[in-house]
Chain A
Amino acid sequence: MLTSNVKILKTLSNFRATFIKTGIFVSLAAYWGIILVGTFITFN
């Protein structure tokens, strides 16, 4: 019972970390997308 609880907590913590990292990665990709598209539009 105790072991399974620890396992669930670990999985949740890993899931949270992956979620945050994905969020940061998506934000950075969006950020770079905006500035690259903006530069492209400005120079056209």
Chain B
Amino acid sequence: MDVFLPIAQVFVNPIEILILSAIVGVLSGLFGVGGGFLMTPFLIFLGVPPAYAVANEANNILATSVSGSTTHYLKNTLDYKMGLMIVIGGIIGTSLGIYTFSYFKGIGKIDTVISLAYMYILAIIGTLMLVESLGEIDKAKKNLLIKKKIHVHYWIHGLPLRMRFPKSKLYESAFTPIIIGLMVGFIAAIMGIGGAFILVPAMIYIIKMPTKLVPGTSLFVTIFVSVIVTFLHSFNYGSIDLLLVFMLVVGSIIGVQIGQKLGEKIDSSGLKALLAVLLLIVGIAIAYDTFFAEQTFEEIAKISNKDLNFFSLFILEFSEDMPFFYGLFSIMFAIFLGVAAAFIRRFFSNLRKKILLKS
């Protein structure tokens, strides 16, 4: 049972998308990584053109980060001041990223650039994770306790305009979070990812934020970065397909909840090596697709507007006639889904507690 995506102009199997996004969601919840760098390549493998996969995954990330951030807001584990500083850099980085995206789209090389960027990012993360997890297993076997240096100073700590961040109890240059935000925004705009894999280590090792504030603040930053990426992609290229976004959001939100519950019960450090291998396999699949697979020209689905159902026709006309409001609607749609998911989760969590107290 295939469904036609009115904006991306391709047929996809909704069950495949739901299952894949749920699997990626489980991995995100289990390992605390964003799922963007896995889901975008999966969408490309399912036949969604890379430029559309990037934009729609950014919108999906917006929904999941709103959901996660609402949970952290309710728990008061967010540093807004630090988050806003990173967002300032993120806005500049995203604008530069969209400009670069437009340049490569203009010369017709955007699909190759996205594939290559994914291949290298997956190869780098996969290699680092594999080496780290093997080291951890080795250390655990030998029961080694290695003392790490508490304060390592990089050039970035010597920058001017230092200010206080009371929540994180830090006295840091404002340029440190801005530079990190700039890098994250640039990568997010080109690759359609949240950038948590850069942001989280940078917040811990470079900014030196307390670990309990890191996930919430990272999600808070991701909201703003993905809002800008979604809006600019929607407004400039009209590439957001609400039908695809809905499928992605439903799958990933369910998956993340399952992953978080699993993470509470099992020790995921041993599974890190498996995730690293999975990333490397996806990376090599992209490499094969880019370098060795025969160039086949996919048939462009020719479907006239008359054949579309009411919902698809509405999305298509809304996107073409009012791109500005369509972009805003895509953002509001993702935010609504994210907040709804957070409150549904809270409701079920409270219900479970009540049942446990009664019994």
What is A's interface to B at a CB cutoff of 8 Å?
17, 21, 24, 28, 31-32, 34-35, 38-39, 41-42
B173 at interface by CB-CB < 8 Å: no
Apart from A31-B283, A32-B127, 19 more pairs, CB < 8 Å: A17-B138, A21-B134, A28-B127, A28-B130, A31-B123, A31-B280, A34-B284, A34-B287, A35-B119, A35-B120, A35-B283, A38-B287, A38-B291, A38-B292, A39-B116, A39-B291, A41-B291, A42-B290, A42-B291
Q: List residues 75-126 of chain B with CB under 8 A from any CB of chain A.
A: 112, 116, 119-120, 123
| Bound CA–CA A14/B283 (angstroms) | 31
Scoring B residues 239 to 276 as 1 if CB is less than 8 Å from chain A, else 0, what string do you get? 00000000000000000000000000000000000000
Closest to A39 in B: B116
- DSSP majority for the B interface? helix
| Bound CA–CA A42/B109 (angstroms) | 12
Q: List residues 133-156 of chain B with CB under 8 A from any CB of chain A.
A: 134, 138
A28 surroundings in chain B (CB, below 8 A): 127, 130
| Bound CA–CA A9/B130 (angstroms) | 27
B123 surroundings in chain A (CB, below 8 A): 31-32, 35
What is B's interface to A at a CB cutoff of 8 Å?
112, 116, 119-120, 123, 127, 130, 134, 138, 280, 283-284, 287, 290-292
Shortest beta-carbon distance from A20 to chain B in Å: 9
| A-B residue pairs in contact (CB < 8 Å), sample of 10 | A21-B134, A24-B130, A34-B287, A35-B120, A35-B284, A35-B287, A38-B290, A38-B291, A38-B292, A39-B116
Shortest beta-carbon distance from A29 to chain B in Å: 10
A34 surroundings in chain B (CB, below 8 A): 284, 287
| Bound CA–CA A4/B138 (angstroms) | 25
Shortest beta-carbon distance from A41 to chain B in Å: 7
A41 surroundings in chain B (CB, below 8 A): 291
